């Protein structure tokens, strides 16, 4: 945003990049290798309130899907014990404790149960027809706004980036059954710290959640498409509904 590149990779993962370590299957050791993304590059500061957007303390992003449930990337810090919600400026957002983490069996997503319900409006997860090729989407996140691992801090402000869904064939090593290939036009997109962040689309004029940031397909944020977990897929949406008590 405004010269900021949005890459969805966890800040925790960045610590291992320089030693060529793989974090939960996300290697960022060479150009062309897959890597978790941290922040949005080439986007802009959030232009709407996004009450469902969640900053995961220790370097990820997430989405409020029920008053007491947040969804984020499974590879994000397993020791996370709090989130911030309710303000695009994370320093002004409400801090809420996390009391339980429920990872998906194989997809790169997990659910965080909050200590108490919050008053902010959750975002709806639609059916699979909302995540088809060509769908216009928007990415959100507090990740880095520069395009290399550890090139800068997490953003204080939530950022947004407009993009669209690509054919699966455009993404290297995508799991087509439960992932979305996401365009990063004009060298912009998710970056380190955006991991777990929302990919949203308008359905009947209302923002709906279709994806959760999983990884990039190169070290430089925005240089190639990114991969989001498809939250609308039969492999993921029913699991979410069962875990949180319905959607």
Residue 10: per-residue pLDDT: 53
Residue 51 has pLDDT above 60, yes or no: yes
What number of CA atoms fall less than 13 Å from residue 210's CA on the CB side? Answer: 26
Percent of the chain with pLDDT over 70: 84
Tokens describing residue 17: 């990049």
Q: Minimum mean pLDDT among 108-122, 190-204, 228-242: which range?
A: 190-204
Residue-range domains of the chain with CATH: 4-47+124-230 (2.40.10.10), 53-122 (2.40.10.10)
Positive/negative CA dihedral, 189, 152, 55, 26? positive
* Cβ pair 197, 8 in contact under 8 A: yes
Residue 37: per-residue pLDDT: 43
Tokens describing residue 190: 């998710």
Q: Cα–Cα distance between 115 and 136 in angstroms, integer? A: 35
Residue 66: per-residue pLDDT: 99
* Cβ pair 166, 131 in contact under 8 A: no
Q: Average pLDDT of 182-209?
A: 94
Better pLDDT: 1 or 173:
173
Q: Cα–Cα distance between 123 and 120 in angstroms, integer? A: 10
Q: Cα–Cα distance between 217 and 215 in angstroms, integer? A: 7
* Average pLDDT value over all residues in the chain: 85
Q: What is the pLDDT of residues 104-136, one digit of tens each?
A: 999 999 999 999 999 999 999 999 889 999 999
Q: Cα–Cα distance between 190 and 241 in angstroms, integer? A: 27
Better pLDDT: 108 or 185:
108
Q: Cα–Cα distance between 182 and 213 in angstroms, integer? A: 10
pLDDT band at 148 (very low <50, low <70, confident <90, very high): confident
Residue 84: per-residue pLDDT: 98
Q: What is the pLDDT of residues 68-88, one digit of tens each?
A: 999 999 999 999 999 999 999
Residue 151: per-residue pLDDT: 78
Q: Minimum mean pLDDT among 80-94, 128-142, 166-180, 181-195: which range?
A: 181-195
Residue 13 has pLDDT above 60, yes or no: no
Residue 240: per-residue pLDDT: 99
Tokens describing residue 159: 């950022």
Q: What is the pLDDT of residues 151-161, one digit of tens each?
A: 778 899 999 99
Q: Cα–Cα distance between 214 and 194 in angstroms, integer? A: 9
Residue 114: per-residue pLDDT: 99
Residue 32 has pLDDT above 70, yes or no: no
Residue 220 has pLDDT above 60, yes or no: yes
Q: Average pLDDT of 56-68?
A: 95
């Amino acid at each position: 945003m405004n010269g900021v590149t949005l890459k969805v990779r966890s800040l925790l993962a960045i610590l291992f990049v320089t030693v060529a370590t793989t974090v939960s299957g996300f290697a960022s050791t060479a150009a062309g290798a897959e890597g978790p993304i941290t922040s949005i590059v080439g986007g802009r500061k959030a232009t709407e309130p996004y009450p469902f957007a969640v900053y995961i303390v220790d370097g990820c992003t997430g989405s409020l899907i029920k008053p007491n449930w947040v969804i984020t990337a499974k590879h994000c810090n397993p020791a996370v014990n709090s989130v911030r919600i309710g303000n695009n400026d994370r320093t002004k957002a409400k801090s809420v404790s996390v009391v339980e983490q429920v990872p998906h069996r194989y997809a790169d997503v997990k659910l965080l149960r909050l200590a108490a319900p919050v008053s902010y409006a959750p975002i709806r997860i639609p059916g699979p027809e909302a995540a088809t090729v060509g769908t216009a989407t928007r990415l959100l996140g507090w990740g880095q706004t520069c395009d290399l691992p550890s090139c800068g801090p997490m953003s204080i402000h939530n950022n947004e980036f407009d993009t669209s869904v690509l054919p699966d064939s455009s993404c290297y090593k995508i799991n087509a059954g439960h992932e979305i290939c996401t365009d990063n036009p004009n060298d912009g997109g998710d970056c380190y710290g955006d991991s777990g962040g929302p990919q949203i689309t308008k359905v009947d004029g209302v923002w709906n959640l279709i994806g959760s940031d999983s990884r990039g397909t190169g070290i430089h944020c925005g240089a190639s498409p990114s991969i989001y977990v498809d939250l609308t897929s039969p492999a993921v949406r029913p699991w979410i509904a069962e875990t949180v008590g319905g959607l």
